[in-house]
């Protein structure tokens, strides 16, 4: 096997008790501030179909939601639960423990479910692309599970993640594990996944002729990013107002806060943070420029604390607001939503027939883009065949319970693509308990026909 691009020595391995597992998951939920609180609080405030699930799960009372005409309607617990499919797959706690044992590491979310997506297909997984390799958690397990794999490509725009994945996968291949094909070629690229097409065309001719058998996107931040205050992602730890996933990027949160026009600050707080107090915060941020501006996460958090009345969510209400403001800034700094939408089309184009694209998202803005883009791909491919670009009946909805693929509950069938997750899959209860960050995760999968 061959690893292309440089690497570093293997990480530290320690043994942890299972009681540590739950303590660590609590610590992570605090450290994560961002993703965890955003998922939870967007759920209760913005009444997306998925929010009802979160609230219903802890209460037997009927859930109120607005219908298409804007009128409020009560839904029973059962009705609201159909809006997503909670995974009932057994969780391999040993695997989670193994990931926790690597210092400051990231626990891969819905690992078993992701393995199912790429293992239960009728075809072999000879080529695989991980667009968000992170600490290499998902990737290493996929490589282990697929001895037939011949070509692996790992992308990440964060050099720390890139290095870590390189080390982990290198150690896997050089160590006791020898289940891989001797022809396996491993390529790591320190690149934004929006460049997937150019990367794949450079890497291996097979991608140009055949396409990839599997592509994974596990969006958002890694633990390594959130736990390092110097990166500026954490609400709870002081650091510079950076928030770049790619440290070479030119735009930082500090630049946005201190130089963007007031109207743009308001827009990102409203659209990317879904923050209802956006106008007040926009004015406070712009006003702070007259006294030197904002230069650390603590200064921003102080401004938010002083701007959040206690009537808004109680004494800790500011944390929810801060989480939404941090989310808005992070999305703007990394241009996350536009990049995601464009890249989903490109990833689909890079699939081989029968190949699958799996996407794990962590907040409703991302999930909405994944859902709409998958539907658009289905429609686009159908209408292209019909030549008018505007098919009124673009797809047949099908119900599917294939014996060999029990994880597929309902699929939507088009001519050239199948969405294998009509409803997104969410983590099992057990996983939610062990890794609180996973609670807001949603997995959607599309297959090229
Ligand atoms: C949730 S972590 C992935 C964790 C990984 N699946 C694992 O099991 O270790 C997300 C990673 O995606 C990277 N990332 C986010 N957006 C990206 C983009 N547009 N292009 C490349 N990498 C990106 C981040 O730097 C981060 O390392």
Q: Over range 214-224, report the average pLDDT.
A: 95
Q: Using the predicted structure, report yes or no on whether residue 29 has a pLDDT greater than 80.
A: no
Percent of the chain with pLDDT over 70: 71
Q: Over range 78-101, report the average pLDDT.
A: 67
What pLDDT score was predicted for residue 121? Answer: 61
| Residue 267, CA distances (Å) to 45, 259, 277, 377 in order | 19, 14, 12, 28
Q: Using the predicted structure, report yes or no on whether residue 55 has a pLDDT greater than 70.
A: no
Q: Using the predicted structure, report yes or no on whether residue 308 has a pLDDT greater than 60.
A: yes
Euclidean distance between CA atoms 300 and 321, whole angstroms? 11
Nearest CA to ligand 1 atom 5: 134
Which of 95, 105, 134, 360 is the best mutation target for the ligand 1 pocket, counting ligand atoms within 8 Å of the beta carbon and taking the most?
134
Q: Using the predicted structure, report yes or no on whether residue 30 has a pLDDT greater than 70.
A: no
What pLDDT score was predicted for residue 178? Answer: 57
What pLDDT score was predicted for residue 16? Answer: 30
**CB 35 less than 6 A from any atom of ligand 1:** no
Q: Over range 109-113, report the average pLDDT.
A: 96
More confident residue, 228 or 42: 228
Q: Using the predicted structure, report yes or no on whether residue 57 has a pLDDT greater than 70.
A: no
**CB 108 less than 6 A from any atom of ligand 1:** yes
What pLDDT score was predicted for residue 171? Answer: 87
Q: Which of 61-75, 211-225, 293-307 has the lowest mean pLDDT?
A: 61-75
**CB 163 less than 6 A from any atom of ligand 1:** no
| Tens of pLDDT, residues 325-340 | 999 999 999 999 999 9
Q: Using the predicted structure, report yes or no on whether residue 111 has a pLDDT greater than 60.
A: yes
Q: Confidence band (pLDDT; 50, 70, 90) for 7?
A: very low
Q: Over range 140-168, report the average pLDDT.
A: 94
CATH architecture of 235-336: Orthogonal Bundle (1.10)
Q: Confidence band (pLDDT; 50, 70, 90) for 87?
A: confident
Q: Over range 386-405, report the average pLDDT.
A: 58
Extents of the domains making up the chain: 18-86, 89-223+361-448, 235-336
Q: How many A from CA of 138 to the centre of ligand 1?
A: 11
Q: How many A from CA of 58 to the centre of ligand 1?
A: 31
Q: Confidence band (pLDDT; 50, 70, 90) for 64?
A: low
What pLDDT score was predicted for residue 15? Answer: 27
What pLDDT score was predicted for residue 182? Answer: 65
Q: How many CB atoms lie within 10 A of CB 243?
A: 25
Question: Domain 89-223+361-448's class?
Answer: alpha beta
What pLDDT score was predicted for residue 23? Answer: 34
Q: Confidence band (pLDDT; 50, 70, 90) for 436?
A: confident
Mean of all residue pLDDT scores within the chain: 80
Q: How many A from CA of 218 to the centre of ligand 1?
A: 6
| Residue 6, CA distances (Å) to 3, 9, 195 in order | 8, 11, 20
Q: How many A from CA of 111 to the centre of ligand 1?
A: 15
Q: Over range 383-390, report the average pLDDT.
A: 55
Q: Which of 14-18, 270-274, 296-300 has the lowest mean pLDDT?
A: 14-18
Q: Which of 16-30, 177-191, 364-378, 395-409 has the lowest mean pLDDT?
A: 16-30
Q: Using the predicted structure, report yes or no on whether residue 120 has a pLDDT greater than 80.
A: no
In 3D, which of 220, 248, 424 has the Cα closest to residue 336? 220
**CB 134 less than 6 A from any atom of ligand 1:** yes
Euclidean distance between CA atoms 421 and 444, whole angstroms? 6
Q: Over range 188-195, report the average pLDDT.
A: 97
Sign of CA dihedral 274, 280, 286, 289: negative
Q: Which of 84-93, 122-131, 348-357 has the lowest mean pLDDT?
A: 84-93
Q: Over range 271-289, report the average pLDDT.
A: 97
Q: How many CB atoms lie within 10 A of CB 174?
A: 13
Nearest CA to ligand 1 atom 20: 192
Q: Over range 96-111, report the average pLDDT.
A: 74
Q: Confidence band (pLDDT; 50, 70, 90) for 190?
A: very high
**CB 222 less than 6 A from any atom of ligand 1:** yes
What pLDDT score was predicted for residue 207? Answer: 79
Q: Using the predicted structure, report yes or no on whether residue 179 has a pLDDT greater than 70.
A: no
| Atom from ligand 1 closest to the CA of residue 360 | 1
| Atom from ligand 1 closest to the CA of residue 138 | 8
More confident residue, 316 or 232: 232
More confident residue, 94 or 28: 94
More confident residue, 326 or 74: 326
**CB 244 less than 6 A from any atom of ligand 1:** no
Q: How many A from CA of 221 to the centre of ligand 1?
A: 6
Q: Over range 121-126, report the average pLDDT.
A: 84
């Amino acid at each position: 096997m061959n690893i292309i691009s440089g690497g570093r020595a293997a990480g530290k391995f320690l043994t942890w008790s299972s009681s540590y597992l739950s303590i660590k998951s609590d610590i992570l939920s605090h450290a994560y501030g961002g993703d965890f609180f955003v998922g939870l609080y967007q759920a209760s405030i913005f009444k997306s179909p998925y929010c009802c699930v979160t609230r219903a799960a802890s209460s037997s009372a009927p859930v109120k939601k607005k219908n298409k005409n804007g009128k409020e309607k009560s839904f029973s617990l059962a009705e609201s639960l159909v809006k997503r499919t909670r995974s009932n797959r057994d969780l391999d706690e040993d695997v989670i423990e193994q990931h926790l044992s690597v210092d400051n590491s990231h626990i891969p979310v819905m690992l078993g479910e992701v393995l199912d997506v790429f293992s239960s297909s009728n075809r072999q997984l000879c080529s695989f692309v991980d667009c968000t390799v992170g600490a290499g958690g998902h990737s290493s397990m996929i490589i282990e599970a697929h001895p037939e794999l011949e070509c692996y490509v790992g992308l990440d725009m964060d050099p720390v993640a890139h290095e870590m994945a390189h080390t982990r996968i290198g150690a896997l291949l050089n160590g006791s594990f020898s289940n891989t094909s001797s022809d396996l070629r491993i390529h790591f690229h320190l690149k934004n996944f929006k460049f997937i097409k150019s990367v794949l065309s450079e890497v291996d001719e097979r991608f140009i002729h055949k396409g990839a058998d599997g592509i994974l996107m596990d969006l958002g931040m890694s633990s390594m990013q959130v736990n390092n205050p110097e990166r500026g992602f954490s609400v709870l730890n002081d650091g510079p107002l950076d928030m770049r996933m790619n440290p070479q990027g030119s735009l930082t949160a500090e630049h946005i806060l201190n130089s963007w026009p007031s109207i743009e600050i308001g827009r990102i707080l409203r659209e990317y943070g879904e923050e209802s107090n956006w106008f007040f915060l926009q004015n406070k941020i712009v006003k702070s420029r007259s006294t030197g501006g904002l230069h650390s996460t603590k200064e921003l958090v102080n401004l938010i604390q002083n701007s959040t009345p206690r009537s808004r969510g109680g004494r800790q209400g500011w944390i929810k607001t801060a989480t939404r403001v941090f989310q808005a800034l992070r999305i703007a700094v990394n241009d996350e939503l536009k990049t995601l939408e464009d890249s989903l089309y490109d990833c689909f184009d890079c699939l081989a027939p029968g190949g699958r694209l799996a996407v794990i998202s962590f907040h409703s803005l991302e999930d909405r883009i994944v859902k709409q883009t998958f539907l658009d791909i289905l429609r686009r491919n159908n209408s292209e065949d019909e030549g008018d670009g505007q098919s009124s009946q673009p797809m047949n909805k099908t119900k599917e319970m294939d014996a060999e693929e029990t994880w597929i509950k309902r699929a939507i069938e088009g001519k050239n693509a199948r969405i294998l997750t009509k409803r997104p899959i969410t983590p099992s209860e057990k996983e939610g308990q062990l890794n609180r960050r996973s609670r807001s995760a949603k997995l959607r999968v599309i297959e090229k026909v």
